Amino acid sequence: MADFVYNSYAGAFSDSPRVIYERLRDDPGHRHVWLTSARHIAAFPPEVETVPYDSPQAVAALEAADVVVANTHTDFEWSKPPGTLYLQTWHGTPLKRVHRDILWSPPGLHDRQQLDVDRWDVLLSPNRASTPRLRQAFRYDGELLETGYPRNDVLSAPDRDERRAAVRERLGIADGATAVLYTPTFRDDSVFADRSFELGLDTDAFAAALGSDHVLLLRLHYLVNDELPPPAHPGVRDVSSHPDVSELYLAADVLVTDYSSTMFDFAVTGRPLAFLTYDLADFQHRVRGFYFDLADEAPGPLVETTAELIGVLRDLEATKTRYAERYARFRERYCHLEDGHATDRVLERLAVVPDARGASVG
């Protein structure tokens, strides 16, 4: 028996913590509490116990927990009791530099976040290439497990085709329509230095050029997803608040991103990718920095304008053929653990952790 507390993106019901919770929730011996925010509370099922993020109730829940499961920093003051296990799943294979490795950040941010890193007991790595990068970035020398990401198990599930059809129906994507999922990352100086937000893709030009047989699904990073104006076209949908990005991967026929870690998750599907990298030099050399050269490893074309992107989207079969070998190398390097059993490997680890009463967690 154990008390679990979950934090996903500072208050969402999502990502790998959600998958772990859904595997454990039917065990009557465990109690589960989620940290939530006003923005995301409506997405939580009514039976889920929640407390507001960064509240006295959240502190009390964390300080009484046997296991804390988070996919990002739990970025407020609380004291982790002896015997509590803090499992940090993190939330993406890093192309972008993270934490201490970032080129630009506001003063004091990473010192504050390091207080949370120092509480971690187990950190998940999605692949062997990411392991040394995560250790370096977080200055972390604790237990690290290469498991893949629980959130990606659904992409290899036996019923993935049925799930894809169901998600597309819920999103109103017609049979035969090409669903283009656009997942730009945030720019640090936009979030932390009040620079104006830019979408990067011209949605008017997209809708005009590709017409009704294409649907654009806009999925902004959670740090900027309240800055998107309402879409002006029926073929453009804002899915930034959709609780499960894995469902969007299943629904999509192609992913367009820039530097987001969604590229690594989506590659599990084997479907084409394209990269709208209009500010590549600035992002790579001033704002954030990369762990590898995207132009050398990207499993799809890098384009700088919406017009170029539209040309790629009009002939996805040519893109698949042109990038087939590079795509295969990318999957071998970054998706080798995404076999549908990442959650099993995580739960095997949790099963041997004693709780405060001497029982096993599993």
pLDDT digits (tens, 9 = 90+) for 2-29: 999 999 999 999 999 999 999 999 988 8
What does the DSSP assignment read for 163-214? HHHHHHHHHTPPTTPEEEEEE----HHHHHS-PPP---S-HHHHHHHHGGGE
Nearest CA among 5, 6, 10 for reference residue 225: 10
**Average pLDDT along the chain:** 92
Output the pLDDT for position 284.
Answer: 94
Q: Answer yes or no: is pLDDT of 38 > 90.
A: yes
CATH number of 2-152+340-350: 3.40.50.11820
The Cα–Cα gap between 83 and 66 comes to 7
Residue carrying structure tokens 């017009």: 307
Are both 2-152+340-350 and 158-334 of the same fold? yes
Per-residue model confidence as pLDDT tens digits over 294-334? 999 999 999 999 999 999 999 999 999 999 999 999 999 99
Which amino acid does the sequence have at 34? W
Residue 358 pLDDT greater than 50, yes or no: no
pTM: 0.92
- When mean pLDDT is compared across 113-117, 224-228, 233-237, the lowest value belongs to 224-228
Q: What does the block give as tokens for 210?
A: 């590709």
Measured CA to CA, the distance from residue 129 to residue 182 in angstroms comes to 25
CB 199 within 8 A of CB 257: no
pLDDT for residue 347 is more than 50 = yes
Structural domain boundaries in the chain: 2-152+340-350, 158-334
Q: What secondary structure letter does DSSP report for 48? A: S
- The 3-state DSSP class for residue 74 equals coil
In the CATH hierarchy, which fold is given to the domain comprising 158-334? Rossmann fold (3.40.50)
